Structure 1
Amino acid sequence: RTGRPRRADADAAILEATRDALVELGWSKLTMGDVATRAKVAKTTLYRRWTNKSELVVDAVALLFDELTLPDRGSLAADVESVVLQFAALLERPETKTALMAVVAESTHDAALRTRIRSSIVDRQKRLVLEGRTRAQARGELPTESDPATAARTSDLIFDVIAGAVVHRALVSSEPIDEAWARDFTQLILVGLTAVAPA
């Protein structure tokens, strides 16, 4: 055995303490020591799990993204609108907004951090696209692609379009994402630019 086994309750306390510290202190003032104090664990406990605060913050925010679900609303359009509104609500939470913007900024000069963001957040959330596409194909709303490589590229593109638009509107433009916006955005995705009639 190399060290003590990980405890789920300790991990949960650490990740919650990390999010609280981010909201209160911001990225620049947050330290591993502060998180350890808030979580009531030894600093060595943190370093056995995470080598630095970038990894810790990514995992803390990834846990929030794992809360996203895709309940069956009966149609592809309703499913897309639902996940867009869920995603927007998640980005409105101070701990998500602070953490996400901080790690993205840090990742511009840290390749390892970019890789961790991709594996811990982006790749894990692509499950929603795969689930939604499978459901829509079963309903006959979308065609089934026989080539796995083509299907994977399509799923990646869908994810990039939806996630990119929501993140940009919520965190860059700071514009509201309400039911009307989600409906218009979904219509644009489903029918395309040339089929959108002027209001």
Structure 2
Amino acid sequence: MQSRSPLCRKGRPRSAAADAAILAATREALVDLGWSKLTLGDVATRAGVAKTTLYRRWAGKNELVLDAVAELFHELELPDRGSLAADIEGVVLQFAAILSRPEARSGLMAVVAESTRDDALRERIRAAVVDPQKDLVTEGRARARERGEIPPDLDPAEAARKVDLVFDVVAGAVVHRTLVSAEPADERWVGEFTRLLVLGLAGA
């Protein structure tokens, strides 16, 4: 799986162990307390670090929670299952499984809501969560072209628009299914959704 580096931040050299402990403690606090009751003080206690350590690394609660949730999405990988449809099913099932976790649900919904009035946070969400997932779409389309399952991209700008569209369709459908409708994105639903999506991609 391709590794993805955390967002770069200015300041003193960082301890990877401390970062890992803080982000894990944040996810634990999201499960135990939820977004509204989570505080940086509680996270610091759980992680065994000083509260000032958190403030040196993150501007506030929004940024901390986003990075903690983003780590979950960094686990996503595009499996090579032999066909475009099977590859899509594999990654969508992973995506749905992540969204089913309580720390992902509460954390993601909260930071997305906060980003509606915070442009910097919105950009951070794009860099930490959205762009790495779009890379998976690009990888999947390249693999499908090599198999002859979809036509080649002749215009780079058009190819980029298709990547954006595919990502929006997949992410939008799965997020709405799991977080808004609170329905399971199980294998049956994912299979039906994948067939619908692949028919559209093949037609394009």
Normalised-by-shorter TM-score class: over 0.9
Matching of residue 106 in structure 1 with residue 102 in structure 2:
no
Give the distance between the partners of 1:5 and 1:111, measured in 2 at CA. 27
- Give how far 1:3 is off: 5.7
Offset at 1:175?
A: 1.1
- What secondary structure sits across from 1:90 in the alignment? helix
Aligned equivalents of 1:22, 1:189: Cα separation in 2: 33
1:57 to 36, 58, 65: 65
- Detail structure 1 runs of 4+ shifted over 6 Å in the superposition: none
Instruction: Give the match for residue 77 of structure 2.
Output: 69
Distance apart, 1:32 and its partner CA: 1.3
Change (3 A) 1:3 1:142: closer
Name the structure 2 match of 1:148.
Answer: 156
**1:43 aligned to 2:59?**
no
- CA deviations on 1:121-176 (whole Å, 9 max, x unpaired) are 11121111011011101111111212211111100100000000000000000111
**1:29 lines up with 2:34 in the alignment:** no
Residues paired across the two proteins, number: 192
Of 122, 131, 142, which aligns to 1:134?
142
Q: 1:121 and 1:169 mapped to 2: Cα distance?
A: 19
**1:89 matched to 2:100:** no
Match of 1:121 in 2: 129
Structure 1: how far apart are the matches of 2:35 and 2:191? 35
Please state how far the C-alpha of 1:8 moved relative to its aligned partner: 0.8
Equivalence for 2:7: none
Structure 1, unpaired ranges of 5+: none
Q: Which residue of 2 aligns with 1:159?
A: 167
In the TM superposition, what is the alpha-carbon distance from 1:76 to its structure 2 partner?
A: 0.1
- Does the residue aligned with 2:152 lie in a helix, a strand or coil? coil
Q: Report what 2:5 is aligned to.
A: none
Q: % of aligned pairs identical?
A: 71
CA separation in 2, counterparts of 1:124 and 1:57? Answer: 18
- Tell me how far apart the structure 2 counterparts of residues 69 and 4 of structure 1 sit (CA, whole Å): 32
Go from structure 1 to structure 2 and tell me whether the alpha carbon gap of 1:175 and 1:118 turns closer, same or farther (over 3 Å shift). same
Contiguous gaps of at least 5 residues in structure 2: 1-9
SS at match of 1:26: helix
Q: Deviations 1:57-93 (Å, cap 9, x if unpaired)?
A: 1100000000011110000000011111111111111
Structure 1 residue matching 2:36: 3-state secondary structure: coil
Q: Secondary structure at the match of 1:70?
A: coil
TM-score by length of 1: 0.92
